[in-house]
Amino acid sequence: MKLLEGRAAVVTGSAQGIGLAVATVLAGHGASVVVSDINAEGAEKAAADLEAQGHRALAVPCDVTDERAVGALADACRDAFGTLDVMVNNAGVTRDASMPKMTLEDFRTVIDVHLQGAWLGTRAAGRLMREQRRGSIINISSISGKAGNFGQTNYSAAKAGIVGLTKAAARELARHDIRVNAIQPGPIRTAMTAAMPPRVLEQMLANIPLGRIGEPEDVANAVLFLASDLAAFITGTVIEVAGGRHM
């Protein structure tokens, strides 16, 4: 059974990693997908790969800190596919350093991409979804927004802010039958975790009750659930996809 047949989705930061897994899973369940990333070449390749698998996909490069670009991204989905049913605000960057070493520019960059980007995406999607009287917005936070990470005051602050944004937006948009939820991934097998020293990875695993690193598809499947009618009575929630870490 395809849970998103006939629907259209935008996924930011989807040229690789978790975003690409989300776009792939949504497409596999029938959604037409706009693959969006600041990396235009990566977005084009990801969309082409999805089309080669028989899915409907469109690449739209976007800097999620640019208000006009995010608005145009939402419009591009509606213009290409006739609707915007699912918005996944996933784009992100890291600029890790302890507070004495972190520059104000690096703090602002992470806040702008994660938190401002999610706000702009939520606002742009909400504008179109209000006209349709339906929609699902999913914001990708992080377990770091719950527990905090050393050297990530910028990232943890941004990811915690996404939770507040999600809950406030869910209250505003509920009367239009638009649901807004967040996901907090824990350690996921990406290029970042692959580059970790083995000792650090072992320490991380020791704190995960399920005893493994998560896969990008674990996050993507949670997005699929929240995007679908299976979650029709769920809004303003935060789902942790972290194997029990920091429960």
Q: How far apart are CA 137 and CA 118, in angstroms?
A: 10
Mean per-residue pLDDT over the chain, rounded? 96
pLDDT score of 168: 98
Contact 51, 32 (CB under 8 A): no
What residues are annotated to the active site? 155
Question: Number of structural domains, the chain?
Answer: 1
In a domain, 125, yes or no: yes
DSSP-assigned letters across all residues of 61-81: ---TT-HHHHHHHHHHHHHHH
3-state secondary structure of 197: coil
Q: How far apart are CA 54 and CA 96, in angstroms?
A: 39
Predicted structure pTM score: 0.97
Sequence letter at residue 150: F
Q: What is the pLDDT of residues 172-190, one digit of tens each?
A: 999 999 999 999 999 999 8
In a domain, 1, yes or no: no
**Position 196 pLDDT exceeds 90:** no
In a domain, 32, yes or no: yes
Sole residue written with tokens 């996924």? 11
In a domain, 3, yes or no: no
Q: Residue 51 maps to which CATH number?
A: 3.40.50.720
In a domain, 247, yes or no: no
Angle (CA) 140-145-150 rounded to 5° is 130
Q: How far apart are CA 152 and CA 231, in angstroms?
A: 32
In a domain, 186, yes or no: yes
CB neighbours of residue 149 within 10 Å: 14
In a domain, 35, yes or no: yes
Range of the domain at 161: 8-240
In a domain, 133, yes or no: yes
